[in-house]
């Protein structure tokens, strides 16, 4: 664990985790991530962000980095679903990290601005991510030329999308998820074992997130908790997470489920790191290392050399 990552973890533990623990309304979480994105998240030079209309009611952001000197394939793309606890975040809050990933992977990234809770509870976000996929296919991208990705809540939605696509006979090139929430019953043993070790997420707020997002829906619904979904013959999957996260068991149990279904699953695990530490690219070396790992997976899945 680098000195910089240690410092980031200390700051998160002392200031951000207590703030998240006492925030009474999702609006506070939104302000936090929006301000943090503007002040702390670093993009590579010459990143380009283009407003994208995916469907009549769904916008998104198309992200590329140095396309002039690093041309990208026009028939391949990453569909990235941002995190934010289902109640916050946007393509704009994640665009710096995604620009770095676009540069490293040499591919464009499309991030939909899906509807968030509590104004738009489950299954609005699920429907929007499927609509984003369908919009890319309608534009001419073949399923085998699309990689799906997401972090935290976005990782949950990416996995739900994968289950839906497999059920209707479509198979993306691959999927990567950064510390995804996979089980809204919160039955993983690290929810308690890592209660004090997790430097960012307060486990006690899980029930509030479930209330805001699920709005009374069954937490075991496979479209809410992908740990309970079916993934027959899944495409290659990359999972990145830290052993100290409360969601560690969400990741390990999902990996086991995918392997049992015949999937090729790669787990890249850090012994001690904050939840979705990849977003601190430019500040901590571990974030760049992790994004290089994602980029390598994307290039391999899309056959980009």
- Given the residues 152, 179, 199, 225, the one annotated as active site: 152
Token digits of residue 253: 């149990």
For residue 275, CA distances in Å to 41, 64, 79, 83, 248 come to 15, 25, 21, 11, 10
Cα separation of 291 and 155, whole Å?
15
Burial 144-177 (b: 16+ CB within 10 A, else e): bbbbbbbbbbbbbbbbbbbbbbbeeebebbbbbb
Cα separation of 37 and 18, whole Å?
19
Catalytic status, residue 144? no
The conformation of residue 227, written as its DSSP 8-state character, comes to G
- Given the residues 64, 108, 199, 245, the one annotated as active site: 245
Sort strands 58-65 and 108-112 into parallel, antiparallel or unpaired.
antiparallel
Q: Enumerate residues 6+ apart whose C-beta is below 8 A from 301.
A: 147, 173, 174, 235, 236
Cα separation of 266 and 64, whole Å?
26
Cα separation of 162 and 226, whole Å?
9
Q: Indicate the Cα dihedral angle 45, 50, 54, 58, nearest 10°.
A: 90
3-state helix/strand/coil string of 73-104: CCCCEEEEECCCCCCCCCCCCCHHHHHHHHHH
Coil, helix or strand at residue 53 = strand
Cα separation of 60 and 45, whole Å?
21
Residue 164 φ/ψ, nearest 5 degrees:
-65, -45
Which residues belong to the active site? 152, 245
């Amino acid at each position: 664990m680098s000195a910089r990552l240690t410092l980031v973890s200390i700051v998160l533990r002392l200031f951000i985790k207590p703030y998240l623990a006492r925030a009474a309304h999702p609006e506070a979480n939104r302000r936090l991530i929006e301000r943090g994105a503007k002040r702390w998240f670093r993009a590579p030079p010459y990143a380009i962000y283009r407003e994208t209309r995916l469907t009549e009611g769904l916008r998104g952001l198309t992200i590329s980095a140095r396309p002039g000197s690093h041309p990208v394939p026009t028939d391949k793309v990453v569909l990235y679903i941002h995190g934010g606890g289902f109640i916050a975040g946007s393509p704009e809050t994640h665009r710096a990290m995604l620009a770095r990933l676009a540069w490293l992977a040499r591919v464009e990234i499309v991030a939909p601005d899906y509807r968030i809770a509590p104004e738009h509870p489950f299954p609005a976000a699920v429907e929007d991510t499927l609509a984003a996929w369908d919009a890319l296919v309608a534009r001419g991208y073949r399923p085998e030329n699309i990689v799906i990705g997401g972090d935290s809540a976005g990782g949950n939605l990416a996995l739900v999308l994968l289950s839906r696509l497999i059920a209707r006979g479509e198979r993306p090139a691959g999927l990567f998820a950064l510390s995804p929430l996979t089980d809204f019953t919160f039955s993983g043993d690290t929810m308690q074992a890592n209660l004090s070790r997790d430097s960012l997420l307060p486990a006690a707020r899980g029930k509030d997130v479930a209330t805001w997002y699920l709005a009374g829906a069954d937490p075991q619904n496979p479209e809410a908790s992908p740990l309970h979904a079916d993934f027959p013959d899944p495409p290659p999957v990359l999972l990145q997470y830290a052993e100290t996260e409360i969601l560690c068991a969400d990741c390990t149990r999902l990996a086991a489920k995918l392997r049992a279904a015949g999937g090729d699953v790669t787990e890249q695990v850090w012994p001690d790191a904050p939840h979705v530490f990849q977003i601190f690219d430019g500040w901590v070396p571990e974030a760049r290392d992790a994004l290089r790992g994602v980029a390598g997976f994307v290039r391999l899945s899309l056959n980009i050399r």
